[in-house]
């Protein structure tokens, strides 16, 4: 079939595309910035187009000739008006799909009793499904609770809280019943829906084989990792305070954590057997099996996608900013000739961040990340998707990969709190004598007087950090290959 996948830069969409391609479907991916899919191993097999679910005109060419469209877009983390944004986007997309003659929309929403007092996040997920179908296109709406998988935002919250806090001060929501589901099973339902016409126009609740509390999910994870953890119930910890705690302890910012935590007061368990009737071939795994699969991904450094891949994890309401030359741009460039190939230098600077660190005064980078978290920024805890491989759109600590030219260039865009916009670029180029010129450039576009004051106040320590960094890049690039 000719299939459209929206949200291909997100956690679920980025894993769904290769599975659809493997089944022989012709897949078109709609993203706001096609460059963000550079480096995906399946990018050459799919058609990648630019579009925006809030821009009806952009959807006309995107939906042309499409038979089935996956809607995997949401506005979580974009601000207090995320419900209104979700509704406008879903109506716009549904109307455009109807005009284009799309046969069906497949949507992944949130599990929860629609007749109860749902949180704003869960209500938004379910209202989105209803809005998609208002123009008449049949919608297959899957509803899931916590998705367990390497890089899932919910699983990352569990993982970091459990790994880092021996005694967890827990509000009442940790005792709410949940039916988590593994990402592998979610993808099975999504892919099987294409060849299951009976699922059209249906709301299908999906979950794993276990029903347990959020607290049991954390203690179960701890047991799987051989950790001893204790839960200390505290009735006065509000969702707002809980989100601030999650913000400080995990990579998840409070803007995303709070609506998720507010949703944890609702029981999210499967209440009908429609999924089993329509998809008997899908047999969901239990919670611990899904945890083992996720941990195996981390152990083999084979995490396909992460929650932080999505643009809304950093800049929710703006298009990606590309570096431009403009008046007032401050540039700090350092160069070094090394006795190594450009590929060897690229291997070093493309591995910066995460467990490798930043090669010079790493404590200062950690301090900057800690201050950024206190100010509400992303901080350093996002780490890297992979310790060595890098692709456009990856989060690298408090940077976002903006451009990659294999063996030659990496450009990072700052996502920490700064009074302006900042980039850090590394470039390797062969010289006439066979050696390599490594260029390291910091770009800063200050916002107002405070931006200039900020830059020049930090200039002395920048000199120590960036000067030492390029020298260490050179030393590591010149090491014999077996040592590297």
Domain assignment present for 83: yes
- Picking from 256, 276, 310, the residue at the C-terminal end of a domain is 310
- Could you tell me the residue range of the domain that residue 174 belongs to? 2-310
pTM score above 0.75: no
CA nearest to 21, candidates 37, 42, 52, 51: 42
Q: Assess whether 121 and 204 both reside in one domain.
A: yes
Q: Is residue 256 within 8 Å of residue 77, measured between CB atoms? A: yes
Which strands make up the sheet holding 395-396, listed edge to edge?
330-338, 436-446, 420-430, 409-414, 399-405, 395-396
**CATH for 416:** 3.30.530.20
Helix (H, G, I), strand (E, B) or coil at 207: coil
Q: Assess whether 123 and 192 both reside in one domain.
A: yes
Alpha helices in 279-361 (DSSP H): 287-299, 342-349
Q: Assess whether 288 and 331 both reside in one domain.
A: no
* C-alpha distance from residue 422 to each of 366, 367, 391, 413 (Å): 18, 18, 19, 6
DSSP per-residue letters across 425-439: EEEEEE-TTS-EEEE
The DSSP code for 20 is H
The span from the CA of 111 to the CA of 206, in Å, is 8
Structure tokens belonging to residue 183: 């990402």
**Residues facing 27 on adjacent strands:** 3
Domain assignment present for 33: yes
Per-residue pLDDT for the chain (484 aa), expressed as one digit of tens each?
A: 999 999 998 889 999 999 999 999 999 999 988 877 877 889 899 999 999 999 999 999 999 999 999 999 986 655 667 788 899 999 999 999 999 999 999 999 999 887 777 888 788 889 999 999 999 999 999 999 989 988 788 888 888 888 877 887 777 778 889 999 999 999 999 999 999 999 999 999 999 999 999 889 989 999 998 888 888 877 766 767 777 777 777 767 777 777 777 777 788 999 999 999 999 999 999 999 999 988 887 655 555 665 555 544 444 444 444 444 444 567 788 899 999 999 999 999 999 999 899 998 999 999 999 998 888 888 887 889 888 899 988 999 999 998 899 999 999 999 999 888 889 999 999 988 889 999 998 888 787 678 778 888 888 888 889 989 999 999 999 987 554 4
Domain assignment present for 318: no
Q: What is the pLDDT of residue 109?
A: 92
- Sequence-ordered list of residues with C-beta below 8 angstroms from that of 94, at least 6 positions apart, any chain: 105, 131, 132, 133, 134, 135, 137
Q: What is the pLDDT of residue 237?
A: 67
Strand-pair category, 399-405 with 203-205: unpaired
The span from the CA of 264 to the CA of 119, in Å, is 8
- Picking from 310, 339, 358, the residue at the C-terminal end of a domain is 310
Domain assignment present for 482: no
CA nearest to 268, candidates 113, 410, 124, 67: 113
**Total structural domains within the chain:** 2
**Residues facing 370 on adjacent strands:** none
The span from the CA of 83 to the CA of 81, in Å, is 5
Q: Which single residue is written with the structure tokens 């679920």? A: 12
């Amino acid at each position: 079939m000719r299939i459209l996948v929206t949200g291909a830069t997100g956690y679920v969409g980025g894993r769904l595309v290769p599975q659809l391609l493997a089944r022989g479907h012709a897949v078109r991916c709609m993203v706001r910035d096609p460059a963000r899919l550079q480096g995906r191993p399946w990018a050459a097999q799919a058609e990648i187009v630019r579009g925006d679910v809030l821009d009806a005109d952009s959807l006309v060419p995107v939906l042309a000739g499409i038979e089935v469209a996956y809607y995997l877009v949401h506005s979580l983390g974009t601000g207090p008006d995320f419900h209104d944004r979700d509704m406008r986007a879903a109506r716009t997309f549904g109307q455009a799909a109807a005009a284009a003659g799309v046969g069906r929309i497949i949507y992944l929403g949130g599990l929860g009793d629609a007749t109860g007092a749902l949180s704003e996040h869960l209500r938004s997920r379910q209202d989105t499904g209803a809005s998609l179908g208002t123009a008449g296109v049949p919608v297959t709406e899957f509803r899931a609770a916590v998705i367990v998988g390497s890089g899932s935002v919910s699983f990352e919250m569990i993982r970091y809280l459990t790994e880092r806090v021996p005694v967890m001060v827990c509000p009442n929501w940790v005792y709410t019943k949940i039916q988590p589901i593994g990402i592998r099973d979610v993808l099975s339902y999504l892919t099987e829906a294409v060849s299951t016409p009976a699922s059209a126009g249906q709301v299908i609740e999906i979950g794993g084989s276990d029903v347990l509390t959020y607290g049991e999910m954390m203690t179960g994870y701890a047991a799987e990792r051989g950790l001893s953890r204790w839960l200390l119930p505290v009735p006065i910890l509000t969702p707002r305070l809980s989100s601030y705690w999650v913000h400080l302890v995990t990579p998840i910012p409070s803007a995303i954590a709070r609506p998720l935590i507010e949703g944890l007061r609702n029981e999210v368990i499967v209440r009908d057997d429609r999924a089993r009737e329509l998809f008997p071939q899908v047999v969901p795994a239990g919670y611990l099996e899904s945890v083992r699969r996720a941990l195996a991904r981390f152990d083999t450094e084979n995490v396909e996608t992460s929650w932080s891949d999505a643009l809304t994890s950093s800049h929710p309401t703006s298009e990606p900013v590309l570096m431009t030359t403009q008046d007032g741009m401050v540039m700090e460039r350092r160069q070094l000739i090394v006795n190594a190939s450009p590929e060897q230098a690229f291997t070093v600077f493309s591995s910066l961040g995460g467990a490798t660190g930043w090669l010079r005064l790493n404590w200062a980078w950690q301090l900057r990340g800690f201050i950024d978290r206190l100010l509400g920024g992303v901080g350093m805890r996002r780490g890297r998707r992979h310790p060595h491989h890098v692709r456009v759109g990856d989060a690298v600590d408090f940077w976002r990969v903006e451009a990659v030219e294999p063996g030659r260039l990496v450009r990072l865009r700052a996502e920490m709190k700064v009074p302006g916009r900042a980039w850090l670029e590394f470039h390797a180029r062969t010289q006439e004598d066979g050696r390599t010129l490594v260029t390291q450039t910091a770009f800063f576009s200050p916002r107002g007087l405070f931006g200039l004051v900020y830059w020049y106040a930090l200039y002395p320590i920048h000199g120590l950090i960036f000067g030492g960094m390029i020298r260490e890049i050179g030393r590591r690039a010149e090491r014999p290959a077996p040592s590297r």
